[in-house]
Amino acid sequence: MSQALPMPATSAAPVDGDEFAPERAEELADIVRMAARLSDAPIAALAVTEGDCFRFVAAEGIDAGFIAREHAVCRVLGTHLPEIEILDAGIDARFHDDPRVHGAGGIRYFCGVALIDARRRMLGVLAVADTRARPASPEAARETLRQLGRIATRLVERRLLQQHQRIAGAIAQGDFNAVVLFDPQEGVRYANAGAQALFAAGVAAGTPVAALFPTELQTDPDELARWLQEPGDDGPGQSRDLRALTADGSLRTLEAVRCTPPGTARRGMAALALRDVTERRLLRARQQRAASNDDLTGLPRRAAFLTTLNGLLDERAHPFGVALIGLDSFRTINDTLGHTIGDAVLQLVACRLQAGLPVGARLARFGGDEFALAYPRTDGEQIDAHLRAVLQDLARPCQVDSHSIHIEASIGAAMADATAGSDELVARADLAMQRAKLNGGRQLRYFEPGMRTAAIDRRQLDLELRRACRENEFELHYQPQVSLATGMPTGAEALLRWRHPQRGLLAPDKFIDALGQSSVGPAVGRWILERACQDAATWPIIDGRRLAVGVNLFPVQLDNERLPGEVEHALTRSGLTAAHLELELTEKIALRDDDGSTADALAALRSRGISVAYDDFGTGYASLSVLRRLPVDRVKIDRSFVRDVLANRGDAAIVRSILLIARNFDLRVIAEGVETPEQAELLHGLGCQEAQGFLYSPALPPREFARWVAQRVRLASLQQMSVGGHA
């Protein structure tokens, strides 16, 4: 015996009631009190065996509760040693390192008897104890303890029988309506009407009970065989799920409880109670799937995917890879067509990915527009071939309601090595996917170690951009645009600069791409629009015409249906007329117009008199289609063609082609990057109307730009006066 430490029972709870609860076991408590008084002992207890524990159901001087057999002093008792008296456990070799003996308040004296029934099973222990060593008890005292033990044995047996009767009552009266009485060696002895109606072939006497549950239907047939063959014990009923073919020919899940039936004299007889729980288990399975699977697509969620990935990584001796798929510009679909259409697109993507899934590959949805793939036992070439097929398959146009939608994706992949765990492998694939998006999307990239450093740098840059927005570190400079015919200013392009507190004044190529993808990008875009309009409203009127200002748009601004309203607000607040504002867009913006929303927004702006320019014309493969699809007023010849236009016949031919196309589309043309008078003269001769570049001026702060305009106007006036004087 030992000082009992409260702990949960390790065996199953009774089906109905607890015959050893204190309010039901007062007579056992009387025996314990009598044993303590007659033995003059400060500690006494009665414990029953439950599985691998002793349960102290009545006690004096210690707490009732559970304790594992291996930790109890009374573990020495059993059918092999039905009684024992230990005068000083402190010097007994069996307890030389037992803290319950040698610790503070430890048990030193112990005298106990095992409660053994007629079938030679140990039901429990009755014992008295002391924290001090004691001399041997008189034989009369030992005999008294034995007699109390025999009484306790009968009471415990009765309690166990009552408990089994409660179990049987619950079985007969509850929804455990099928009952089979069987002997593990002789087979079925009895089956009630519920059992006869349940099984497909009925239940004949002598049928091996295992035959009711075909092994091929069970999750662990060997364990089931052991469970059915072991003699039924007198402990609480044990429950498990079994699979069987029922009378209607269907495969059903049955919950089974086995117990020793009350009143059965034959040793080893057992009762098996059954109820059909198929619908309950299906509901539970659906609930479990709902917890681990995505509601929209039915695919596993991120957590479930990572759990699967951990198991697959145990086989990392074989080739293994992971890929992340992110849809490009999916937010535009949600913002312009609504979340119902967006959800339908995600379901379509999931179906396409599942349809082409290689054998053994695992697919999951990580949330938003991201999906994940795991490729166990698959080499790099196979993974590459499948992912490139995925890019092509996703790019096929789809029809959702009345909308024709083009889906494009960026994919990042990483191959497993000897060190990376599941989280690290997914992180690598994510870095590769982000690089694919940064490079324009619609592509597959594989993880490279340098991507992590680049990602850290991007994160640091993003934090600095947030600070720059908060601390007003951005400013606008203006590069003049001039007429090639007169040399007079016609307008200016607003170019963003960042006055970095440590690095000084930064040109856009150092940060503009990151800013366009940053969460502060839309706010900075609005600020550029408003500031450019305010500055342009102060510029002088030349020959009766105000100078126009060109503003570059971020792609995210055209994803926002509020752009027309923001432009209107900037014009109203500044007083600038719509005819003197030009919005510039790039091919990256044009290619995002899958649903025509960009064209609609630009058309609405043009209807107000605002001009639209197509920047870097000729550098991308979609230039001509943009002119056909989008409302454009002017094209800008990229500086890469202007730089060598005098020396490179190819560049000269491209410039001529652009000018010809512009004339056919009735578009104005401006050339960027003009640095020499010879370039300007050639461009003018070919029909180009305007130019900007270092020949005229670099981008200037607002005040310097105003001075430049004034000087340019004075110079032109002097030239005209000089020409007039000579005339």
| 221 pLDDT tier (thresholds 50, 70, 90) | confident
Residue 87: pLDDT over 50: yes
Asked if residues 585 and 620 have their Cβ atoms less than 8 Å apart, the reply is no
Looking at 3.30.450.40, 3.10.620.30, 1.20.1300.10, 3.40.50.1980, the CATH number of the domain 22-168 comes to: 3.30.450.40
Helices 302-313/422-438 angle, 10° precision: 120
| 532 pLDDT tier (thresholds 50, 70, 90) | very high
pLDDT value at position 128? 94
Element (H, E) at 707: helix 702-726
**Portions of the chain given CATH number 3.30.70.270:** 299-448
Q: Mean pLDDT over residues 559-580, rounded? A: 90
pLDDT value at position 544? 80
Name, in order, each residue with C-beta under 8 angstroms of 560's C-beta and a sequence gap of 6 or more: 335, 522, 566
Average pLDDT, the chain: 84
* pLDDT tens-digit map of 414-465: 998 877 888 889 999 999 999 999 888 889 999 998 888 888 888 888 899 9
CATH 1.20.140.10 fits 461-719, yes or no: no
Q: Mean pLDDT over residues 685-693, rounded? A: 95
Element (H, E) at 489: strand 489-500
pLDDT value at position 398? 84
pLDDT value at position 339? 87
Residue 657 neighbours by CB distance under 10 Å: 12
**683 or 165: which leads in pLDDT:** 683
Looking at 3.30.450.20, 3.10.450.50, 3.40.190.10, 3.30.70.380, the CATH number of the domain 175-282 comes to: 3.30.450.20
pLDDT value at position 288? 62
Q: Mean pLDDT over residues 143-170, rounded? A: 80
**Portions of the chain given CATH number 3.30.450.20:** 175-282
* pLDDT tens-digit map of 316-371: 567 789 999 999 878 878 877 888 999 999 999 999 999 989 988 999 999 889 99
Q: Mean pLDDT over residues 258-269, rounded? A: 56
Q: Report residue 280 CA to chain centroid gap.
A: 28
* pLDDT tens-digit map of 326-340: 998 788 788 778 889
Residue 715 neighbours by CB distance under 10 Å: 12
pLDDT value at position 234? 38
- In 3D space, the residue among 555, 554, 535, 525 whose CA is nearest the CA of residue 491 turns out to be 535
Element (H, E) at 258: strand 251-259
| 685 pLDDT tier (thresholds 50, 70, 90) | very high
Under DSSP, the state recorded for 95 is G
Helix (H, G, I), strand (E, B) or coil at 720: helix
Residue 6: pLDDT over 50: no
Share of the chain above pLDDT 90, in %: 40
Assigned CATH topology for domain 299-448 = Alpha-Beta Plaits (3.30.70)
> Among 367-371, 491-495, 723-727, where is mean pLDDT lowest?
723-727
Asked if residues 371 and 298 have their Cβ atoms less than 8 Å apart, the reply is no
pLDDT value at position 620? 60
pLDDT value at position 5? 25
pLDDT value at position 353? 94
**Portions of the chain given CATH number 3.20.20.450:** 461-719
Pairing of strands 489-500, 548-552: parallel
Calpha distance 164→350 (Å, rounded): 54
Q: Measure Cα distances from 451 to 350, 415, 458, 566 in Å.
A: 28, 15, 10, 37
**223 or 52: which leads in pLDDT:** 223
pTM, to two decimals: 0.53
Q: Mean pLDDT over residues 392-398, rounded? A: 89
